Structure 1
Amino acid sequence: MICPLAQVEEIYKTTQGAVYQCSRKNCYWLEFQDTTTAFKISDFFSFKKRIDAIDVASMIGDASRAADFEIIMPFRTERCFLLRVEDVLALREVLSGAKFMIELNSEVKKILREGNVLAV
């Protein structure tokens, strides 16, 4: 559950999850697997890298029970993610979409700032 006092803005959402930005706390909120996890900005991008680094092909090809799940404990959170292959793929989609939207927003702001300088 996101703090009711937080001022959040949706960044990216799928049927599997969503990412919100909180301007009050300067953090990102990840909604996934029916829970919400807060990340500092740098921790959010580190978490995305960890998820992207999971070897899905190895998980699929390995017949042992240990390969059925990946356990990820993000830095500076109390959350533990227990991810199946389909969860990893769904989480990657949410995180990649959010990263794209964050970068797009940054570029738009940069262009608008440069445009304001030229308009003066």
Structure 2
Amino acid sequence: MICPLASVEEVFATSQGAVYQCSRKNCYWLEFQGNTTAFKVSDFFVFKRSVDQIDIEAMLNNSSRSFDFELIMPFRTERCFLLSVEDVLNLRDLLAGAKFMLELNGQIRSILRRDAVLAI
């Protein structure tokens, strides 16, 4: 559950979840699999990299039961993620979309600042 006192803005959402940015606490909230997890900014991107590094091909090709799921325990959170192949793909999609929107927002702000300086 996102803190009711927080000032959050939706960064990106899919049918599987959403990522919100909290300007009050300077963090990101990930809503996925019916749970909400708070991440410090740097930890959010570390988590994204760890999800991106999951070997989907090995999960699909190995018939051992230990390869059916991937367990990820993000740094400085109280949550662990038990992910199937479908969950990994859905989470990758959500995190990639959020990262793109954050980068796009940064580029837009940079251009607007530059144009404001040139107008003066």
TM exceeding 0.5:
yes
Q: Who is 1:45 aligned against? A: 45
TM-aligned CA deviation for residue 107 of structure 1: 0.2
Find the aligned partners of 1:2 and 1:46 in 2 and give their Cα distance: 21
Find the aligned partners of 1:46 and 1:110 in 2 and give their Cα distance: 24
Find the aligned partners of 1:28 and 1:78 in 2 and give their Cα distance: 15
Q: Residue type of the partner of 1:17?
A: G
Find the aligned partners of 2:60 and 2:5 in 1 and give their Cα distance: 42
Q: Residue type of the partner of 2:16?
A: Q
% identity of equivalent residues: 68
Q: Who is 2:59 aligned against? A: 59
Q: Residue type of the partner of 1:117?
A: V
Where 2:102 maps in the other structure, the secondary structure is helix
Find the aligned partners of 2:53 and 2:80 in 1 and give their Cα distance: 17
TM-aligned CA deviation for residue 6 of structure 1: 0.5
Q: Who is 1:114 aligned against? A: 114
Where 1:116 maps in the other structure, the secondary structure is helix
Where 1:3 maps in the other structure, the secondary structure is coil
TM-score by length of 1: 0.99
1:13-32 map, 5 Å: 13-32=13-32
Find the aligned partners of 1:80 and 1:48 in 2 and give their Cα distance: 14
Find the aligned partners of 1:71 and 1:7 in 2 and give their Cα distance: 31
Gaps of 5+ in 1: none
Find the aligned partners of 2:30 and 2:118 in 1 and give their Cα distance: 38
The runs of 4+ residues in structure 1 deviating greater than 4 Å are none
TM-aligned CA deviation for residue 45 of structure 1: 0.3
TM-score by length of 2: 0.99
Find the aligned partners of 1:62 and 1:5 in 2 and give their Cα distance: 46
Where 1:78 maps in the other structure, the secondary structure is coil
CA RMSD of aligned residues (A): 0.3
Find the aligned partners of 1:114 and 1:42 in 2 and give their Cα distance: 26
Can you list the C-alpha shifts for 1:63-89, whole angstroms capped at 9, x where unaligned?
Answer: 000000000000000100000000000
